[in-house]
Structure 1
């Protein structure tokens, strides 16, 4: 291989390494954090008490009673699911249904008292705070409460049911419990370790809009560039290897001798 090709490979490898070296470093740092973290702790499962069971002696009305009231709403076209949940010690039906909005349908949820069949309003702030305190296993007091009606792609409660109450406790790790107002249930727990994880995940996926898209164009481009960098590194190793150079020189020497012999024979 000529010296010109040797220099081209070296330059290509150097500039590719300089261009994507920072991203390689971020991938490595993120991978270390992911592999050394306990996912249960990251997800905040250790801070969430399990929901309590309800006694078999409960007297419940048929779900058809709240469904009858739900049918009176214009646009309701289909029932998706019925679940029995506990809200502050009261058995409650969680009715998921589809409602027509113009040319498309949207899923909504309605709560209903499972002992009377009466439809009930979404959770109030005080109810959400009490639920969060009941499900939170930490000893800390509530620091502040926020009512969310919308979130962007970088919010830690993205792509989850809204509206919701974000109830933050002072300790441990500024834990925030998110309670969906219309569903009446705890949706997620977020802590500082999760926030670090989420930030590194964004850098890992290179999705700087929604953080969770593993098929974005930027990641694909850098993956290809990373493959080219590694390939050029292997090529540079072989062309720079002393054994490779000595074999090449031996071949060149043998070729020169063979040419000389042919010239003398002529």
Structure 2
């Protein structure tokens, strides 16, 4: 079998160009859709106002602490593992909040020491109304014991979910043990959360920014860029210097 002349064999540079073209093409098909999602979702999240995503335009979270230097009531017998003792206003009335080293919080009547937490439905609705700055449209309230609500609320529990009837279907989550507002979620937040999941390629948890999917597509996108530079370098026109030929000397006279 006759061998291919060396002059007809593809050069190393040509082989590199062909390999780079194939790599660039197939990776672009594989990564292109997600790259489009990255750019599109990034633009959408930049367009949405973060204040509206957090419902800050209809909810105030200003604490109602009355006296942070409260010395402690006489009825407080067990002072072991005590971390903080604070008086504050919950649903318009003064209470004492006790926080211990295990993370537990409880509310008590400042005069008698009667335990007030977990808070009642009436108290939860009162807290929500005091925090709400939009039109009065409270429509539902529900106690959540230990079941997360999708990705919009995962605890701590127990907590009250108070729903308003505004156009954004805003929900406020209130800690049943301390009366603190834990989260505010709306349709704007839910849309932002969905877009964020597409952006980081985490369609279930929304908080894994180092998943294998993201790593693989990130490496693929970087490879596309590098192979593109290789193709550009091979196709870039070269500046060739013209060789000046010296006239050959004629026969001597």
> What TM-score do the two structures reach when normalised by structure 1?
0.76
Structure 1 residues 154-187: Cα deviation after superposition (integer angstroms, max 9, x where no partner)? 42013x4211111111113111111111111212
Pair 1:185 & 2:180 matched:
yes
Q: 1:32 to 1:7 in 2, by over 3 A?
A: same
Task: Give how far 1:200 is off.
Answer: 1.3
Q: 1:126 to 1:28 in 2, by over 3 A?
A: same
The residue aligned with 1:257 is none
Q: 1:26 to 1:184 in 2, by over 3 A?
A: same
The residue aligned with 1:130 is 126
Deviates more, 1:146-155 or 1:189-198: 146-155
| Structure 1 unaligned blocks of 5 or more | 72-76, 99-105, 255-266
Q: 1:226 to 1:211 in 2, by over 3 A?
A: same
Task: Give how far 1:109 is off.
Answer: 1.1
Q: 1:67 to 1:26 in 2, by over 3 A?
A: farther
43, 52, 55: which one aligns with 1:44: 55
Pair 1:110 & 2:106 matched:
yes
Q: 1 or 2, which has the higher helix percentage?
A: 1
Q: 1:110 to 1:116 in 2, by over 3 A?
A: same
Q: Within 5 A, what are the aligned runs for 1:93-104? A: 93-98=96-101
Q: Determine helix, strand or coil for the equivalent of 1:143.
A: strand
In the alignment, the residues of structure 1 paired with residue 13 and residue 65 of structure 2 have an alpha-carbon distance, to the nearest angstrom, of: 80
The count of aligned residue pairs is 231
The residue aligned with 1:24 is 35
48, 59, 63: which one aligns with 2:72: 63
In the alignment, the residues of structure 1 paired with residue 21 and residue 70 of structure 2 have an alpha-carbon distance, to the nearest angstrom, of: 77
Q: Is the 8 A contact 1:166 1:179 kept in 2?
A: yes
> What TM-score do the two structures reach when normalised by structure 2?
0.80
Structure whose CA Rg is larger: 2
| Structure 2 unaligned blocks of 5 or more | 1-11, 244-253
Pair 1:3 & 2:14 matched:
yes
Structure 1 residues 26-81: Cα deviation after superposition (integer angstroms, max 9, x where no partner)? 1111211222222111111111135475778xxx984254542x55xxxxx62232
Q: Determine helix, strand or coil for the equivalent of 1:145.
A: strand
Q: Is the 8 A contact 1:66 1:119 kept in 2?
A: no
